[in-house]
Amino acid sequence: MPLSLRYFCVYIFVAIAYLLPSFVLGDIDTELHILKSLKLPVLLTALLVGFAIACASAALQVVLNNPLADPGIIGVSSGASLMAAIFLFLFSSLGVFTQIDIATNSMYWMPLFCFLGACVSGLLIYILAKKIGRSTSSFVLAGIAISTLFSALIAWLYLIAPPQALQSLTFWLMGSLAYTNVNSLAVVAPIIIVASLALLGLATKINALYLGTSEAVLAGIDAKALHGRVFLLVALLVGVSVSIAGSVAFLGLLVPHSIRRLHGHDNQTVLLCSGILGAIVLTLCAFLNEYLFSTHVPLSLLTASLGAPVFLYLLFSTAKR
């Protein structure tokens, strides 16, 4: 059985475990309504966002030649979150957009704002890294600086926002699967599917980057154009993911490391399996929120709590070799 199919079977098992109690524990008609209006959107969001973030992170780590190149750590997610927070603040607190019919179509505008935020943060990181040396460590340092700045701006918005906006701003800071709906998924799902397929299609070319930029050029790969396409796809995937699930911590760092540790470095395997494992992790988070906790636990809190011990184990097991 192909490796990716094994991971997909695990995802199906976790998804069934999340959905099945709806048919067993309550009134069928009521549970079917809950299933269609609440649980299925959450499940689809976990699938799309988990796949997008993990797959994008796996590609970004190779392109930057740095294992710490997680969209959250290098600032791409914070740029998307900042634009989402600004949009939300202007919409819900100040009413700026109510006169120009943007508020009623926020499901269409929010992904655009988040994508622009991810692109702006990526551009700032690239410019800053180029100024300080353009090495792989420069990108991480620049990303940490941009991420800290944008996180501070979000915190200021959180501080000055009126009480009715605080809960929504917390969602953008910590992430959640509970705020999605069928309409927003109808907008975001095609974008994530097309961008993910495009990124998976670049897997063979991304493999050439392991040899270094100059060796990739000798192998017939336009490394500069490849970098640009990967950055654009990563910004798109992260931006639209943030628009429906907020900022998700640690997922993009943990999942690709786990796949490479278990199955090697071929990106035709790493990108696809990372995406599926990312979907499994977020679906597991949805399961825990639904059946274990009496209150909704932020997504980033769950991913960090589940992922940190696994990541520490991977680090220690690698160090012993």
Distance CA 165, CA 191 (A): 28
Q: Kindly report the number of other CB atoms within 10 A of residue 33's CB atom.
A: 12
Distance CA 254, CA 303 (A): 9
The Cα-based distances of 113 to 80, 95, 180, 238, 240 in angstroms read 7, 17, 17, 12, 9
What's the confidence (pLDDT) of residue 10? 92
What's the confidence (pLDDT) of residue 203? 93
| 292 token code pair | 């274990």
Distance CA 250, CA 272 (A): 18
Distance CA 44, CA 11 (A): 12
* CA Rg value for the chain: 20
Distance CA 304, CA 111 (A): 25
Q: What is the pLDDT along the chain (321 residues), one digit of tens a residue?
A: 688 899 999 999 999 888 877 566 566 667 777 777 788 999 999 999 999 999 999 999 888 887 777 887 777 888 888 888 887 777 655 555 544 444 445 566 777 788 888 888 888 887 887 787 766 667 778 888 888 888 888 888 878 777 766 666 776 678 888 878 888 888 889 999 999 999 999 999 999 888 777 777 877 888 888 888 898 898 889 888 888 888 888 898 889 988 998 888 899 999 999 999 999 999 999 999 888 887 788 888 899 888 888 778 777 776 555
Would you list the DSSP string of 150-217?
Answer: HHHHHHHHHHHS-HHHHHHHHHHHH--STT--HHHHHHHHHHHHHHHHHHHHTHHHHHGGGG-HHHHH
From the list 306, 204, 299, 207, the residue with the least C-alpha distance to 255 is 306
What's the confidence (pLDDT) of residue 100? 46
Distance CA 78, CA 148 (A): 8
Collapse the DSSP code of 103 into the 3-class scheme (helix H, G, I; strand E, B; otherwise coil) and give the result: helix
109 and 240 in contact (C-beta within 8 Å)? no
| 88 token code pair | 């939300």
What's the confidence (pLDDT) of residue 110? 75
What's the confidence (pLDDT) of residue 200? 95
What's the confidence (pLDDT) of residue 159? 80
Distance CA 51, CA 246 (A): 15
Taken in order of first residue, the domains within the chain and their CATH numbers are 3-319 (1.10.3470.10)
